[in-house]
Amino acid sequence: MDVLNTRRIVILGKTGAGKSSLANTIFGEDEFKIYHTLSSGTTKCQANTRSVNGRRITLIDTPGFFDTHRSEEELKPEMVRCITECAPGPHAFLIVLKVERFTEHEQEVIKKIQENFSEDALKYAVIVFTHGDQLPEGETIENFVSQNKNLRDLVEKCGGRCHVVDNRYWKHNEEDDYRSNRFQVEELLNTLDKMTEANQGRCYTNEMLQAVKRAVEREEEHVRQSAGNLSQEEVVNEAKKSFIDNFLIRSAGVATGALLGALLGLAELATSNVRSVQDLTEFFRRATVAYAALESGVKGGQTGYAAAERAETTLEAVQKAASAVWSQSGFAADRITQ
């Protein structure tokens, strides 16, 4: 696998927009599993690498990270997996939208993408519309975009880059070049070439992605030392898996420690003999309680992180973190129940 010359492309969008189908359309083969209901869309981040028209490309298909009906806790493992797969950063984001009304829901998805990756990410983004068969006869995607101010503004922020495919009806269309996936994919790849050139070959990155890259490289060294005759690709894959597992385990320890530490901080104060007066005195008392709880939460998080380093599963991390925070606090259980 030619890692250095491989372009990493992350596909983003809400559930049901056609992200997995777009990935298959670009590759020209069914590498990504397709789900046919909104409630059972892609739930796991998946990355595959193929040569497409002379270009080595890694496509990273993502769950609906920015869907409002999915909890952060539910999506955290796949967000970590996505970040790990594209570290030190993607060369491009494909933001997938349907050819339909650009509603507040779609605008919220774009807003969340910018919040998570920063507005600079749009310098590396291309808008790709699916369900191209919904375009009126003879209309181009540029005409469609021009009819909606919010959509037009979004495409302008992405350097005017937009394309359209139809993952179902345009597969074998030879009569109309524009309504042909083969034509549209080549146009998309040309746009990605130009964008990469304009960005001087750099990928989108930030401190978090750089830190992940360094951590994965350290894991690669451990894998090489402990494993046998693995190929470079196998070493990289094993290192990524190890990093993700360790990150989630330690995250569980930090979360458990911080929560328990904060609760113990509040309970400690709740059993004290502080007598509330009125107005300003009560305000300062509550501020003191909140600060003490926060301080206990931070200390608990640190304790939980250290305890989780010795864990092998997230459940074990939770148990070790809880035990460590409880022991360190010296807080008697019977005092909470008084």
Domains and CATH numbers, the chain: 7-205 (3.40.50.300), 215-336 (no CATH)
Question: Does residue 61 contact residue 21 with C-beta atoms inside 8 Å?
Answer: no
Question: Does residue 204 contact residue 123 with C-beta atoms inside 8 Å?
Answer: yes
Lowest mean pLDDT among 46-55, 168-177, 235-244, 293-302: 293-302
DSSP state of 16: T
Structure confidence by residue, pLDDT tens digits, 77-86: 777 778 888 8
Question: Does residue 248 contact residue 314 with C-beta atoms inside 8 Å?
Answer: yes
Q: Which amino acid is at 287?
A: A
- Would you say residue 9 has pLDDT above 90? yes
Structure confidence by residue, pLDDT tens digits, 220-262: 888 888 877 788 888 888 888 887 777 666 655 444 444 444 4
Which residues sit opposite 48 in a β-bridge?
Answer: 59
**Buried (b) or exposed (e) across 269-278, using 16+ Cβ within 10 A?**
beeeeeeeee
pTM: 0.71
